[in-house]
Structures are given as structure tokens and as C-alpha cells.
Homo-oligomer: A and B are copies of this chain.
Amino acid sequence: MPSTLRVGIVGAGGYTGAELVRLVHGHPRLDLVWVAANQRAGQKLADAVPTVRGISGLGELVLESFDPQKAAKTAERIDVAFTALPHGASTLVVRSLVEAGARVVDLSADFRLKNRDTYAAWYGDHGAPELLGKAVYGLPELHRSELLGARLIAAPGCYPTSSILPLAPLLAQNLVEKHGIIIDAKSGVSGAGRSPGPAYHYPEAAEGMRPYKVAGKHRHTSEIEQELSLQAKADLRVVFTPQLAPMNRGILTCTYATARPGTTAESCREAAKKLYQGGLVTVLEGDALPDTLWVRGSARAHVAYALDERAGVVLGMCAIDNLAKGASAQAVQALNASMEWPDALGLPEVGMFP
């Protein structure tokens, strides 16, 4: 096994792509050798991602276009490709790279769902259904053994990461009821991607909060239900309410579930600590509550629990950086896990504060 992997990024001009550039550059065993972005092909990487201007080895990289027909040639230049494309656009790119022999970590939703029909119900027909069973859901804390040696990793979505992490231990350990789960999630605006639009125009996103795609309309619902059902060993339904918050990065998710008899906040914390050992999840102690400010730029998630005794409800909370643990850092963490490297290798664990 090589001590260093040559890395390519497809979609390097978007936010998760830019975050991958930052993370791969800081990783001791990853070398960024190739960047692609069809819409910006020919541009310097530094024009698309101005944070690399003047940095030796990055500032000069030029964005190429990627043609699935020529994936074989690309695969000669790289060991692993991160594909950071919009949902739907990833399928054929990933297939071509997998077939050409590259390892692929895909950051879109295209390979996260296991069930073809579920995929069709939420997204439409899948363009490469034969790969659905081969892709590993890249949440190392829950799928570590499957990730070992994986060649196709589907990095989880940001909302799902922040929704699954607080609930998984509760459901796996039968600490809460399986029905009546409510997930109220607030995301920074970078989660919407880099394409401008009225909803993300500064004056209409700053200083305001709003829900969107509520009541079963957001596609991430399917991904959350798949993973929580796995943990609960039962088919689950959740109410999921995504909301836009006036900040760049960060997701704060509050989950509500009915406590089973005997459940305490402490038993929830214990279950989470046990499940997340070796991963990049900090379970906050005692009454401490999470703050997205504490994980900005960090590969870690913070999880906390409280029991509302008056109502018999467990409140599970999670804070992540949507572009880091919610996307690009988790993609690298999953690659690390697939290589049997420590999860945190080369990743910023200490976030920027403030």
C-alpha cells in the first residue's frame, strides 16, 4: 500500500470542493495532483478558490474538465478521487472512475441510499443502480468495518450527519421509542452551495431565519430514516424540519424522542460515548450544551443530551460544521478509515475560535 495517495477532486470550484482543497493540502499522506470543474475548466484554481492564491503548489493548479469517457487516463494520474458534484450529476462520473479502477469518495447523495426504490421515490431513477449495493455509507462511527478497504464511499449529507449522530445510540440501545421522532435542524447558508439565488442573496439571508421544505419534503429525510432504521432494527419515520440560519457554517440539530422507562440523560451519554469511541464525536459532559461555534472548521461533531422529565422526552442535540464533519472532513475521515489510518489523520480537530 502506498504511503501517500495521489488525490483528484472533481467539482473543486464549489464549497465542499474548496474545503477538500484545504483539507487535502494539510494532510500528510494525501497529495493534491488534479482538480476538475467543468464549468470553470481552464481557470486557475486560485481564481475559483481565492484562498489558495500565492500558495506554492496550489496557486498554479489549473481546473480541467472531466470526461467520463476518458476516466481511464485520469485514473492513471490519481489513486483516489473526491467527487463533489450536485446530486444527480455525480452518478456517471463516479461510475466511470470506479470502473477505471480509482477509489472514489462521493460527496453527493447519489450513492447514499441502499434501496433503489427508495432512491427512485425521492430522487427519480438511478443511473448506476448496480453500484448502490457496493457503496459504503461513509459515517465511520457507524460503518467502520464496512469501510475497511472500501473502493466506493458515499459521504453522508450534512443534515443526516447531525441528525443521525445524536439519535443512533438511543435507538441502538433502545433508550427511546421508535415512533414520534422529531428533528428540528438549523443550517448555515453555505449548505446551499455556491450558486447564487434569491434565497441566499445576502440581504435576504442575513439577519433572518426561515424553514423550508418542511413536512416530509426534504430529500435528506430518506437518508436519515435509512440509517436510523438500521440502528433501530425497525422501519422508522421521522419529522424533519430544515431551517436556514444567518451564518456561513454550522448545523445545530435538536432531536426529540420519547424516553423509555429508566432512560436518563446520563444513560444516553454513556451509550453515545461507547458507540463513538475512536471516532470524531465529542459527547459533552453533564449539562454542557453544544454550540456550532465550537466546531467551526473542525472535523469533529459535538453531541449532548437532556431529559425533559416533565414530558418524558429525550432531547438529543448535535453541532457540526456542515462543510467539515458534515461533508468534506467526513469524506477524508472515511477515506482514512478505509485505509486503516486513524480517523483524525491530517484533519483539523481544533476548530477556529472565534
Contact = CB atoms under 8 A, between A and B. Distances in A.
Instruction: Give the oligomeric copy count.
Output: 4
Interface in A151-193: 180, 182, 184, 186, 188-190
A297 B297 contact: yes
A248 B354 CA distance: 7
A25 B200 contact: no
B53 A306 contact: no
Contacts of A298: 51
A101 interface: no
Interface in A193-228: 194-198, 200-212, 214-216
A244 to B, nearest CB: 9
A18 B354 CA distance: 9
Contacts of A197: 196
- For chain A, give the interface size range: 35 or more
Contacts of A216: 308-311
Given A50-B294, A55-B300, A203-B190, A21 B350 contact: yes
Nearest to A225: B310
A210 B290 contact: yes
Contacts of A184: 184, 241, 254, 256
Contacts of A282: 53-55, 59
B203 A15 contact: yes
B247 A208 contact: yes
Interface in A255-310: 256, 281-284, 289-298, 300, 302, 306-310
The residue among A19, A212, A293 with the most chain B CB atoms within 10 A of its own CB is A293
Nearest to A352: B297
Given A49-B353, A55-B349, A200-B201, A315 B241 contact: yes
A55 B350 contact: yes
B250 A209 contact: yes
Contacts of A49: 353
Given A215-B313, A216-B310, A241-B315, 14 more contacts: A51-B352, A55-B300, A194-B203, A196-B201, A203-B248, A207-B296, A208-B296, A209-B245, A211-B289, A211-B290, A215-B309, A216-B311, A237-B310, A237-B311
Interface of A: 15, 18-19, 21-22, 25-26, 49-55, 58-59, 180, 182, 184, 186, 188-190, 194-198, 200-212, 214-216, 237-239, 241, 243, 245-250, 252, 254, 256, 281-284, 289-298, 300, 302, 306-311, 313, 315, 317, 319, 348-354
